[in-house]
């Protein structure tokens, strides 16, 4: 049974594939954490539930045992997961246990306040070794109830001598930079106040004792599935106890619950790995594939996007010419980017007027769609449904539709404002034109963008309801148009999370397509996102973001580690470049089943040599990069952790056979070209 219950201790044990999680109720009906780690028996969980005296405890410390959802009030002085204010001004919660229900892999623990009409259900659901947690907060009274904080879950790890925090930081064009730092004895807050997940932080984190590596050591990690503002507070006290609590919304927001209303928090999932950060990532990848993605078994097509070729200078003839060139290289999906609608001659006008520009497309978009399909490709379009330019017919007709507050100026960023999707009329308008656009053209693909943060957002509930409305629009579109696929984009990786990914098929990690920078971006992105959702383009030289010039081979090899795309101005590429590009596209299609559907192992060599190994049914694809090579440095063999010491492996391109023991301990020899920006792809097959 995945869920066991011990009556005397009022303890629940949830058993995953290789891990376990245990929680109990104390004498005051407070849910207390017992265990999160390797598999244990119910009797062992009971033994663990008996607290040992804390030698550092005193009358100034909080009560025994870490709370599963810490509330404001009583003897708790750490960060609160749940803060409420009742109609008479009283704050804090005192629990009364109502009951529990365990069905299959789903546990519900029902709690109520001892005096006030508040009920909370704690949800626990096992998916393999990933534990999903969320909460329902219900106002059972006749009066309004203010919720000042409603986190999805609190997590706790065993006492260690030291702790290390891994998290993702960044900025526009520099997202998903992995940071590993010693966790201070303090409260460390990871957050976004921008109305979206943000470029600057991501709601994933991992904790270890400072000694874990890629393939060894204990790692505890969590991911919040939410695409709006969020906050996670990590707390390490001087006594050595460490945990964190997290959920939607940032500090200072209040949700007002009407009588009978329920607030359901987003899923906050946790995973324990006994075999390092690599095993943790692979477990997250498997979870995303099985439980999150709408169409996990599909091959993601090689796409071409017109943005870097045309910018806003979009017209029918130019797009058709690019489509022909893209098809000749082997592209399978053509995506027309910004500039096709309204008065969109620059980023200053037209956003919100989602009708084709009649001068640029005198017969609408149907001729282009038909030509793209005649060339053997699918057809997609860029949209930014949540934004509007003040210089647009939509804004002139509905200035009240944007986020704004009385007596405050409307802050423009990128010459645009944010439409308030928390308004039912805005949500209905967005769905109507998107449904019409997709239906009329039979669109195969939407690149859904979101290019600026919230400002002047109010009331507080906008931060919740806007994101929920975006989810509903996407859900309706996908239900009504089963062939539609969506890419999540937000000025690059500004809205990359498991909430948006449940409704999309891939994510654009960054507007920065420089392959040197992309290696680091993709390394951080892959901490919990699998390769099959990582959109990566090959673009022009010099790179539009960095000005760096790199070989076409290097650009392709970096992009081939995910979902390959083409984004350059193909009309300027030489005949040799076009020939080489077509060869790389064909090579990608040969390795695509292993890259997109295989198991990923991050590789570390000497110096700047790194790579990724993908494994599927005995087939191995190794992609290696060496961005810089100091004088006298020869990149050595690259050790492969995903081979068996007793097996042999055939190089499918050279015919050379390698022994597994040598590949595992010494490494794979690489035939790298000289100089900087060197790369290689090796295909191996395990021999019977």
Residue 63 carries which DSSP code? Answer: P
CA 180 and chain centroid, separation: 19
Closest listed residue to residue 564, CA positions, set 610, 600, 518: 518
Indicate the Cα dihedral angle 667, 670, 676, 678, nearest 10°: -120
**What CA–CA distance (Å, rounded) separates 350 from 416?**
10
CA 94 and chain centroid, separation: 35
Closest listed residue to residue 241, CA positions, set 50, 388, 66, 7: 66
3-state helix, strand, coil in the chain (%, to 5): 20, 30, 45
What three-state secondary structure class fits 528?
coil
Q: Give the β-pairing of 563-566 and 535-538.
A: parallel
Which entry of 337, 353, 505, 511 is annotated as an active-site residue? Answer: 511
| Chain position carrying tokens 């004895």 | 185
Largest separation between any pair of C-alpha atoms in the chain: 80
Q: What is the spatial order of strands in the sheet that 145-150 belongs to?
A: 82-85, 145-150, 255-257
**What CA–CA distance (Å, rounded) separates 591 from 302?**
12
Based on its alpha-carbon atoms, the radius of gyration of the chain, rounded to whole angstroms, reads 26
Which entry of 105, 353, 444, 449 is annotated as an active-site residue? Answer: 449
Integer distance in angstroms from the first to the last C-alpha of the chain?
Answer: 37
CA 604 and chain centroid, separation: 24
Whether 449 is catalytic is: yes
Whether 440 is catalytic is: no
Closest listed residue to residue 303, CA positions, set 368, 376, 378, 252: 378
Helix axes 575-597, 552-559, angle to 10 degrees: 20
Catalogue the active-site residues: 449, 511
């Amino acid at each position: 049974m995945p869920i066991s219950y011990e009556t005397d201790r009022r303890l629940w044990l949830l058993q995953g594939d290789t891990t376990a999680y245990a929680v109990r109720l104390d004498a005051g009906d407070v849910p207390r954490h017992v265990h999160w780690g390797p598999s244990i028996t119910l009797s062992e969980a009971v033994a663990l539930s008996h607290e040992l005296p804390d030698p550092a405890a005193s009358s100034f410390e909080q009560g025994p045992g870490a709370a599963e959802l810490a509330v404001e009030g009583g003897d708790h002085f750490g960060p609160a997961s749940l803060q409420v204010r009742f109609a008479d001004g009283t704050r804090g919660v005192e629990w009364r246990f109502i009951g529990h229900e365990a069905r299959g892999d789903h546990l519900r623990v029902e709690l109520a306040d001892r005096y006030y009409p508040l009920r909370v259900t704690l949800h626990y659901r096992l998916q393999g070794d990933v534990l999903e947690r969320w909460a329902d907060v219900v106002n059972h009274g006749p009066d309004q109830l203010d919720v000042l904080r409603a986190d999805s879950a609190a997590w706790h790890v065993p006492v260690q001598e030291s702790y290390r925090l891994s998290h993702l930081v960044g900025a526009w064009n520099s997202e998903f930079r992995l940071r590993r730092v010693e966790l201070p004895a303090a409260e460390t807050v990871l957050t976004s106040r921008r109305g979206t997940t943000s470029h600057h932080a991501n709601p994933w984190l991992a904790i270890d004792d400072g000694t874990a590596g890629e393939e060894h050591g204990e790692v505890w990690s969590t991911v919040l599935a939410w695409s709006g503002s969020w906050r996670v507070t990590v707390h390490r006290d001087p006594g050595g106890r460490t945990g964190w609590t997290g959920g939607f919304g940032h500090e200072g927001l209040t949700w007002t619950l009407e009588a009978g209303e329920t607030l359901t928090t987003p899923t906050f999932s946790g995973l324990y790995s006994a075999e390092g950060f690599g095993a943790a990532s692979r477990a997250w990848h498997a979870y995303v594939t099985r439980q999150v993605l709408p169409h996990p078994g599909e091959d993601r097509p090689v796409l071409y996007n017109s943005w870097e070729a045309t910018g806003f200078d979009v017209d029918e003839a130019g797009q058709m010419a690019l489509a022909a060139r893209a098809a000749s290289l082997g592209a399978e999906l053509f995506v027309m980017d910004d500039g096709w609608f309204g008065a969109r001659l620059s980023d200053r006008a037209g956003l919100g007027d989602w009708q084709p520009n009649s001068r640029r497309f005198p017969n609408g978009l149907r001729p282009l769609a038909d030509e793209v399909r005649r060339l053997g490709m699918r057809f997609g379009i860029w949209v930014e449904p949540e934004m509007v330019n003040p210089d647009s017919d939509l804004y002139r007709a509905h200035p009240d539709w944007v986020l704004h507050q009385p007596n405050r100026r409307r802050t423009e960023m990128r010459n645009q404002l944010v439409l308030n999707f928390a308004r039912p009329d805005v949500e209905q308008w967005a769905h109507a034109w998107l449904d019409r656009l997709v239906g009329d053209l039979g669109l195969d693909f939407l690149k859904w963008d979101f290019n600026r943060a919230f400002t002047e957002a109010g009331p507080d509930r906008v931060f919740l309801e806007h994101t929920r409305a975006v989810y509903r629009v996407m859900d309706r579109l996908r239900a009504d148009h089963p062939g539609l696929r969506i890419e999540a984009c937000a000025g690059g990786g500004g809205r990359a999370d498991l909430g948006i990914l449940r409704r999309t098929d891939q994510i654009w990690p960054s507007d920065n397509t420089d392959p040197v920078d992309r290696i680091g971006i993709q390394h951080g992105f892959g901490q919990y996102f699998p390769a099959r959702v990582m959109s990566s383009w090959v673009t022009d030289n010099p790179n539009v973001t960095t000005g760096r010039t790199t070989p076409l081979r290097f650009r392709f090899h970096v992009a081939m580690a995910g979902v390959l795309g083409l984004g350059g101005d193909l009309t300027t590429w030489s005949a040799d470049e076009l020939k080489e590009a077509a060869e790389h596209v064909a090579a990608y299609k040969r390795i695509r089943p292993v890259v997109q559907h295989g198991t990923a192992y991050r590789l570390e060599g000497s110096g700047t040599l790194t790579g990724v190994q993908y494994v599927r049914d005995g087939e191995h694809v190794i992609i290696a990069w060496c961005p810089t090579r100091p004088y006298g440095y020869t990149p050595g063999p690259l050790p492969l952790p995903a081979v068996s010491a007793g097996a042999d492996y055939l190089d499918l391109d050279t015919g050379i056979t390698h022994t597994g023991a040598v590949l595992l301990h010494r490494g794979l020899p690489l035939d790298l070209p000289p100089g900087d920006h060197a790369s290689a792809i090796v295909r191996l097959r395990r021999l019977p």
